[in-house]
């Protein structure tokens, strides 16, 4: 009986699993190259050409344009998180760590300005909001920061209601300052990191002071705070 089709684990079906992934990655790379060449408004034809295939091949691997762009975005996410993760987990004086995190972010966008602009500015009109990589990333980072801040505040018996808005505020702050800097690089990356770290530190310090907690910015934090597992990037469950 030809019952092989239904449900059976035909090896022919599995055979390609890895390959498909590799191919997608290959097309994502091609897209990035195409964007570098033709600017952010590349067409699918040009991307296909750059990849050395014709359009339908592309469409076998990506449902549509946004799907491809989404993959490009995720690729950017990976690059970002690979840098941000370690920067967040690093120990040392709190002031330096803030600067380290900010600087890690700025380094990523400095090294990939085209990709960055493409992913951020190109954010797809047609996809539902939850499928927007930039929104996703910001939400992920903000959630991590919110948890961090919240724990921090609660450890000092302070109201932690502000943790979430503050986290989003911090994310927006760094992003927007980064955008501005990327467009007209009128100061060194180090200076900007320093300036941003300064203002962030003052904000945090101010919150603590208002509860009469005094922290030395140049000393590592006591009691394992800021180095707990919660500080790692919270895993978002994705399909």
Q: Which residues bind its own copies (CB under 8 A)?
A: 40-41, 121-123, 125-126, 129, 138, 142, 161-162, 164-166, 168-177, 179-181, 183, 186-187, 191-192, 195-196, 198-207, 209-210
Interface pattern 10-39 for DNA (x via CB under 7 A) = xxxx-xx--xx--x----------------
d(CA 131, CA 102) in angstroms, rounded, equals: 25
SS3 state of residue 93: strand
Q: Are 167 and 204 in contact (CB under 8 A)?
A: no
71 binds, among its own copies, DNA, none (CB under 5 to 8 A by kind): none
Measured over the CA atoms of residue 31, residue 36, residue 41 and residue 44, the dihedral's sign is negative
Q: Does 5 interact with DNA (rule: CB under 7 A)?
A: yes
Residue 117: how many CA atoms within 13 Å on its side-chain side?
14
- Out of 21, 39, 43, 86, the residue judged to bind DNA by CB under 7 A: 43
5 binds, among its own copies, DNA, none (CB under 5 to 8 A by kind): DNA
Task: In angstroms, give the least distance from the CB of 88 to DNA.
Answer: 36
- How many residues contact DNA, by CB under 7 A? 28
**Residues 6+ away with beta carbon under 8 Å from 189:** 103, 106, 107, 110, 181
Burial 121-157 (b: 16+ CB within 10 A, else e): ebbbeebeeebbbbebbbbbbbbbbbbbbbbbbeeee
Task: In angstroms, give the least distance from the CB of 63 to DNA.
Answer: 7
Task: In angstroms, give the least distance from the CB of 109 to its own copies.
Answer: 14
Q: Does 61 interact with DNA (rule: CB under 7 A)?
A: yes
Residue 137: how many CA atoms within 13 Å on its side-chain side?
24
122 binds, among DNA, its own copies, none (CB under 5 to 8 A by kind): its own copies
170 binds, among DNA, its own copies, none (CB under 5 to 8 A by kind): its own copies
Residue span binding DNA (CB under 7 A) among the ranges 58-66, 88-96, 171-179, 203-211: 58-66
**Cα 8 from chain centroid?**
39
d(CA 89, CA 135) in angstroms, rounded, equals: 23
In the complex, the residues that contact DNA under the rule CB under 7 A are 2, 4-5, 8, 10-13, 15-16, 19-20, 23, 42-45, 53-57, 59-61, 64-66
């Amino acid at each position: 009986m030809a019952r092989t089709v239904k449900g059976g684990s035909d090896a022919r079906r599995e055979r390609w699993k890895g390959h498909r992934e590799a191919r997608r990655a290959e097309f994502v790379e091609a897209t990035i190259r195409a964007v570098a060449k033709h600017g952010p408004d590349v067409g699918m034809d040009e991307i296909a050409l750059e990849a050395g295939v014709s359009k339908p091949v592309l469409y076998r691997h990506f449902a549509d344009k946004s799907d491809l762009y989404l993959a490009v975005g995720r690729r950017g996410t990976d690059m970002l998180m690979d840098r941000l993760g370690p920067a967040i987990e690093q120990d040392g004086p709190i002031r330096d760590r803030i600067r380290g995190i900010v600087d890690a972010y700025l380094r990523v966008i400095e090294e990939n300005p085209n990709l960055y602009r493409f992913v951020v500015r190109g954010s797809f009109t047609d996809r539902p909001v939850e499928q927007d990589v930039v929104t996703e990333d910001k939400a992920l980072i903000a959630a991590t920061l919110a948890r961090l801040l919240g724990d921090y505040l609660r450890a000092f018996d302070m109201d932690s209601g502000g943790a979430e808005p503050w986290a989003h505020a911090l994310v927006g702050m760094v992003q927007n300052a980064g955008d501005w800097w990327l467009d007209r690089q009128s100061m060194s990356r180090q200076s900007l990191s320093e300036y941003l770290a300064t203002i962030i530190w003052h904000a945090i310090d101010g919150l603590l002071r208002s509860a009469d907690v005094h922290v030395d910015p140049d000393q590592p934090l006591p009691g394992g705070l800021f180095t707990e597992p919660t500080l790692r990037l919270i895993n978002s469950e994705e399909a």
